Amino acid sequence: MATAHAGILSKDVEFYLDGTKVENLQEFPDLGGAADQVDVTTLADGAYMYINGIKDYGSLEFTFLYDNSATTSNYRVLRAAEEDGLTHECKVKFPDTTEFSFSGQISTTITGAGVNAALQFTATVNLQSDITVKDPA
């Protein structure tokens, strides 16, 4: 008899900026990165040898359903973080309480849309720290 596989649905994944939940998250990026390969091959080696270098996470792009209806709306909050030019604390929290924390500078882009489409925007986090992971208790 086949065994059912456990998994976690992406429903209820949350994004926080400076400790405050930002509403209407629709997509989040990969939360990890591969380390660069550093060549340590010597003339005595019969094959190339490598060690892990620095991780490159790239920029983290989060997609939100656009809301600009109030001073606390997601677009205004993230645009204000962009305009102040400061480094902000960010966190992604999964339904099982796993947390990915990092700091970065924010930029926002209204994404293009066609006929009969929901308006969205992207908040890009240019990292200023490593990503730390906190496992569920």
54: in domain: no
Contact criterion met (CB below 8 Å) for 101 and 134: yes
* Straight-line distance from the first to the last Cα atom of the chain, in angstroms, rounded to the nearest whole number: 32
Q: Confirm whether 35 is domain-assigned.
A: no
How many of the other CB atoms lie within 10 Å of CB of 104? Answer: 20
In total, how many domains does the chain have?
A: 1
Asked if residue 116 is part of any domain, the answer here is yes
- Give the model confidence (pLDDT) of 10-41 as tens digits: 999 999 999 999 999 999 999 988 899 999 99
Range of the domain at 111: 14-28+60-134
Whether 3 is covered by a domain: the verdict is: no
- pTM score of the predicted model: 0.88
